[in-house]
Amino acid sequence: MPTVRPSGPGAVDVELDVNGIRTPLHVAPHTTLLDALREDVGLLGAKKVCDEGTCGACTLLVDGRAVYACMTLAVACAGRSVETVEGLARDGELHPVQEAFIAHDAFQCGFCTPGQIMSVVALLRATPSPSADEVMRAVSGNLCRCGAYPNIVEAALAAARKGKERP
Amino acid sequence: MKPFTYVRATSVAEASRMVVAGSAPLAGGTDLLGLMKGGIASPARLVDLGGIDGLNGWSRERGAGLRIGALTPLVDLETSDQLARHLPIVREALRDTATLQLRNAGTVGGNLLQRNRCWYFRDAAIQCWLKGGTQCFAKEGENEHHAIIGTARGCNRVAPSDLAPALIAHDARVTLTSTRGTRSVLLADLFTDPALHSREEHTLRRGEILTEVQVPESGLQRRGTYLKAMERKTWSFALVSVAVAARIRGGKLRDPRIVLGGVAPVPWRVEAAEAEIDGHPFSDDLARRAADLLLADAAPLAKNGYKVPLAKELVRRALARIAAA
């Protein structure tokens, strides 16, 4: 019977794939993915707001699925793919969803924006032509205290239309 | 969150041994990490179940019912058109469960075993009865979300899961595995009878891990539906929810189940209420009689009396819906 050695409670070595880059980390097991990215990797896109899985400002993608980074342990993501808002732009060009958020004024203070964008990116990959209702459902786990919701929905629908036009 | 040691188990037996030795099992983490951050749980060791093969996914074998692995993410059940053909109530129940982010991470087993949402329980500074104290603070306190029925002297919590009432309405069972072997119990019996005055919400024995949910063939033959009343239209636990299921034969409801969520410490069923409608065609009057029986023993607290008429009307609407479908 193979036995698995426990690790921690001190810092342990774990390697994540962050935005396509192999990223070795040395973090204690009780470090959330959010804190690991912000404090150890230096990626500040995912925001730490409620830190209890209710606001959505830390939304990012793990293996392509939108999750709350504050409710995910970094050690549990070993070998998995993590995508943050910093990984969306390509060669200095913003991602179509980022462009659409700017064009449609889909934010005011901007604090929820990286999370909103990641939720929309995940939606459009699975559902390239969503209805407004599907967009609303996809971002209903992302709170916006400025109340930019109508423009967020508009931006997502516009990004979807643009996505279809591209070859 | 307090520091802990972490280990990724590769088998249920290995995980069970670690749980016996004091480790807390980790699946999606959406409830456990919240409890740990809030200081309600502070395990010294976590055993991650995520690396165990064979617990993720569902299958349907003709004549043998439906099996759902405990580590299946909720979103996989919600979005499966195939599953919706076999058991549509699961999608209805999960569509309004938490948020997409939490359904992506949260698992079937974790949803069924989540702890209650009572704000006194969730406040680490408050030593309520369920946490070993001597008093339920909800009884005289802020109790608009609390139980109206089936409460023991000690605790007025409500069972929060959406999936549990839906699956119980289809007679689901769960498999519990430990180093001593495997047992199968009715999902309804996973929830501790409040009359026992136990400070455990679930009936898991030492080292047991919930590995699978089964819905028997007879359960799949019922038509079911799930309705949920929330404070807002999204991202909210049920104020009251109802799962109903029955075979519809010649316009009559047969072998019905009515299960309420959000009203009692356990998913709430009253057999007399089901017997009242068994074999009868739907009518508003019949539904009202069943709902009255279901809530006959309701004893609301100061601020949650609204749950009684709300539950009764949801029962009527749900029965009307399956009768008309």
Domain ranges for chain A, please list them. 12-86, 96-165
CA B211/CA B67 separation, integer angstroms: 10
Give me the amino acid identity at A133. Answer: D
Q: What is the ipTM metric for this complex? A: 0.95
pLDDT number for residue A12: 95
pLDDT number for residue A5: 73
Cis amide linkage into residue A9, ω under 30° from 0: yes
Among the listed residues A126, A101, A127, the one whose alpha carbon sits nearest the alpha carbon of residue A114: A101
Which parts of chain A sit beneath pLDDT 70?
A: 1-4, 165-167
Look at the domain A96-165 and name its fold.
Answer: DNA polymerase; domain 1 (1.10.150)
Residues of B in contact with A4 (CB under 8 A): 7-10, 14
Domain region containing B190: 1-325
Question: Would the CB atoms of A71 and B33 count as touching at under 8 Å?
Answer: yes
CA B167/CA B241 separation, integer angstroms: 13
Q: Residues 38-97, chain A: which have Cβ within 8 Å of B? A: 51-54, 56, 59, 65-68, 71-73, 75-76
Nearest chain B residue (CA) to A76: B48
Q: pLDDT digit string (tens) for B214-246?
A: 999 999 999 999 999 999 999 999 999 999 999
Among the listed residues B262, B265, B244, B231, the one whose alpha carbon sits nearest the alpha carbon of residue B320: B244
pLDDT number for residue A165: 63
pLDDT number for residue A1: 42
B184, two tokens: 């199968």
Q: Is the pLDDT of residue B254 over 70?
A: yes
Residues of A in contact with B36 (CB under 8 A): 30
Instruction: Quote the DSSP letter at residue B125.
Output: T
Q: How many domains does chain B have?
A: 1
pLDDT number for residue B156: 96
Q: Could you tell me if A33 and A77 are in contact, meaning their C-beta atoms sit under 8 angstroms apart? A: yes
CB under 8 Å to B214, separation ≥6 — which residues? Answer: B65, B66, B67, B68, B172, B173, B174, B175, B184
Percent pLDDT > 90 in chain B is 97
CA separation, residue B41 to residues A103, B133, B203 (Å): 45, 16, 18
Q: HSE-up of B89 (CA within 13 Å, CB side)?
A: 34
Q: Residues 28-47, chain B: which have Cβ within 8 Å of A? A: 29-30, 33-34, 36-38, 44-46
pLDDT number for residue A8: 87
Question: Would the CB atoms of B45 and A6 count as touching at under 8 Å?
Answer: yes
- Taking CB atoms and an 8 Å cut-off, how many pairs form between chains A and B? 102
pLDDT number for residue B195: 84
pLDDT number for residue A4: 62
CATH number, domain with residue B212: 3.30.465.10
Question: Would the CB atoms of A66 and B26 count as touching at under 8 Å?
Answer: no
CB under 8 Å to B206, separation ≥6 — which residues? Answer: B19, B20, B178
B119 touches chain A (CB under 8 A): no
Percent pLDDT > 70 in chain B is 100
Q: Given B4, B9, B46, which is nearest A4 (Cβ)?
A: B9
Relative to beta strand B173-178, strand B65-69 is unpaired
Residues of A in contact with B34 (CB under 8 A): 52-53, 71
Candidates A32, A135, A140: best to mutate against B (most CBs of B within 10 A) is: A140
CA B274/CA B254 separation, integer angstroms: 9
Among the listed residues B248, B247, B272, B269, the one whose alpha carbon sits nearest the alpha carbon of residue B258: B269
Question: Distance (Å) from the C-alpha of residue B175 to the closest C-alpha of chain A?
Answer: 23
Residues of A in contact with B2 (CB under 8 A): 30
Phi, psi for residue B103 in degrees, rounded to 5: -75, -25
Residues of B in contact with A54 (CB under 8 A): 235
CB under 8 Å to B13, separation ≥6 — which residues? Answer: B177, B179
pLDDT number for residue A3: 52
pLDDT number for residue B154: 81
Residues of B in contact with A58 (CB under 8 A): none
Stronger pLDDT, B11 or B153, i.e. the higher one:
B11
Q: Could you tell me if B287 and B315 are in contact, meaning their C-beta atoms sit under 8 angstroms apart? A: yes
Q: Report helix, strand or coil for B68.
A: strand
A40, two tokens: 């150890």
Q: Is the pLDDT of residue B199 over 70?
A: yes
Read off the pTM. 0.97
Q: Given A4, A5, A72, which is nearest B29 (Cβ)?
A: A72
Look at the domain A12-86 and name its fold.
Answer: Ubiquitin-like (UB roll) (3.10.20)
CA B30/CA B19 separation, integer angstroms: 19
Element (H, E) at B101: helix B100-105
Question: Distance (Å) from the C-alpha of residue A94 to the closest C-alpha of chain B?
Answer: 24
Residues of B in contact with A140 (CB under 8 A): 99-100, 234-235
Q: pLDDT digit string (tens) for B28-84?
A: 999 999 999 999 999 999 999 999 999 999 999 999 999 999 999 999 999 999 999
Instruction: Share the mean pLDDT of chain B.
Output: 97
CA B78/CA B97 separation, integer angstroms: 10
Q: Residues 221-250, chain B: which have Cβ within 8 Å of A? A: 234-235
Instruction: Quote the DSSP letter at residue A95.
Output: P
Residues of B in contact with A137 (CB under 8 A): 100, 234
Question: Distance (Å) from the C-alpha of residue A142 to the closest C-alpha of chain B?
Answer: 9
Determine the average pLDDT of the residues in B91-109: 98
